[in-house]
Amino acid sequence: MQNTGRFISFEGIDGSGKSTQARLLAAALREAGHEVVLTREPGGSAGAEEIRRLVLEGDPDRWSAETEILLFTAARRDHLEKTIRPALARGAVVITDRFADSTRMYQGISRGDLAETVDKLHALMIGVEPDLTFLVDLPAEIGLSRAQTRAGTEMRFEDMGLDLQARMRTGFLALAAREPRFRVIDGTRPQAQVAADITAIALAHLT
């Protein structure tokens, strides 16, 4: 892949503050003179946004874990082709709210051990990782209560409950410990403090 830009992802459990922090980082980097493409998963391209509705709305047991892996990966492939690769090729900073680590956690460990299936499909169809990943970390109780405050129709995963969110948190921390591209950020602090840490790390990474 032609990759002259930088690829930054935000990961964490539902309600951890990823979207807020992705937005604040995009603003800070634009202020510093970078071209920034702020995007999200599932979604980030027209086709992937259509798939988003299929996976995030409706009954928690609407799809099997295997079907979900295919749907999230299909959405990611479209996002990569239509949004991420073109932006990186022209030298932009791409900031995405979730990427493949979310599939590793949500589909890979939530309902049985499907980690190997996720990794194989990723290698076959996606094959890229972010340069830098912020894990916004906080206890599952806090994440879930924040997520439920802004409750809407996209609640399939929040509806799977606290126990699942707690397992996701543990899984994300284990993944972060294995992968050098991760920075673990304490998301329990006020927004501005969290943002100041993230901006400093990102600016250092970009110079």
Residues that bind ligand ADP in the complex, under the rule CB under 6 A: 12, 14-20, 146-147, 149-150, 190-191, 194
Give the 3-state secondary structure of residue 73. helix
Give the nearer residue to ligand TYD in terms of CB position, either 88 or 99. Answer: 99
Give the nearer residue to ligand TYD in terms of CB position, either 15 or 171. Answer: 15
Task: Provide the minimum distance between the beta carbon of 179 and ligand TYD in the complex, in angstroms, as a whole number.
Answer: 16
Q: In what order do the strands lie in the sheet containing 132-137?
A: 36-40, 93-97, 6-11, 132-137, 182-186
Q: How many C-beta atoms surround the C-beta of residue 153 within 10 A?
A: 9
Choosing among ligand TYD, ligand ADP, none, which partner's interface includes residue 150 (Cβ < 5 to 8 Å by kind)?
ligand ADP
Distance of CA 45 to the CA centre of its chain: 15
Q: Which stretch of DSSP H or E encloses residue 36?
A: strand 36-40
Whole-number Å distance between alpha carbons of 30 and 35: 6
Choosing among ligand TYD, ligand ADP, none, which partner's interface includes residue 72 (Cβ < 5 to 8 Å by kind)?
ligand TYD
Task: Provide the minimum distance between the beta carbon of 187 and ligand ADP in the complex, in angstroms, as a whole number.
Answer: 6
Q: Which residues bind ligand TYD (CB under 6 A)?
A: 14-15, 18-19, 41-42, 56, 72, 97-98, 102-103, 106-107, 147, 157
